[in-house]
Structure 1
Amino acid sequence: MQQADGRILLFHLSGPMSFSSAKAMVRRHAAVTDYDIMLLDLTDTQSIDYTSARAMEDIIVDSMHAGRKVFLVGARPDVRLILERQKVTRHLDRDCIFANRLDALREAARHLQGNH
């Protein structure tokens, strides 16, 4: 992360994500604009509902429209299934979905080096 010079945003979400957390999630993301790659880390997210899945899609789409890359990290099988059913993952290439944060960070660093 230090070598990335602040160009990687680790957007770590935790706990069950529901309607009440979706609004806060979007506000938190909107407050940060100075990054090239976002790691949307769901490692500690036990569950999501429809509203939070839609909020994640908005965050992903907004980031990509701003020319940023998004990596989805650590989604548990049931969380990933909801994201797939809600067609959130259709916005991400397969090589942008990671099982763990370390692999995603390594790929983000490689991507940044390639764009230098």
Structure 2
Amino acid sequence: MNCCHFITRCVVGTRTVSQHQRNWRSSVCSGMKVEVELFATLRLKLPKPTYQLDMPEGTTIKDLMRELDRITGQPVSKELFRGDEVIPGTVILLNGKNILHLNGVETPLEPGKIAVFPPVAGG
């Protein structure tokens, strides 16, 4: 299955490919399937709590969050990152592993599940 089945555009580095370039894109996208589950305030702000995406090899967590920015029309990445750093209190789990213990925002994606918990406050 190519990326056409999940998203209307496919991220290739810093370049996106539009839907009318479907044949070219299917040869570029490798079809790494990820499920992004959002929690807390992100779940309330965005249209859906879960997104299933097909991303190319070499995509990082930062790339994935920018793709969510584009898909949702909301600044998801700005709520999670300050530059190239994860905002304190943010928890992003890649297949159950905290990205802070991996390579931070530059952690390469793996097929599977990404759980995203934005920083919370209060008591």
TM-score (norm. length: structure 2): 0.28
TM-score (norm. length: structure 1): 0.29
Larger C-alpha radius of gyration, 1 or 2? 2
Query: Relative to total residues, which structure has the larger helix share, 1 or 2?
Result: 1
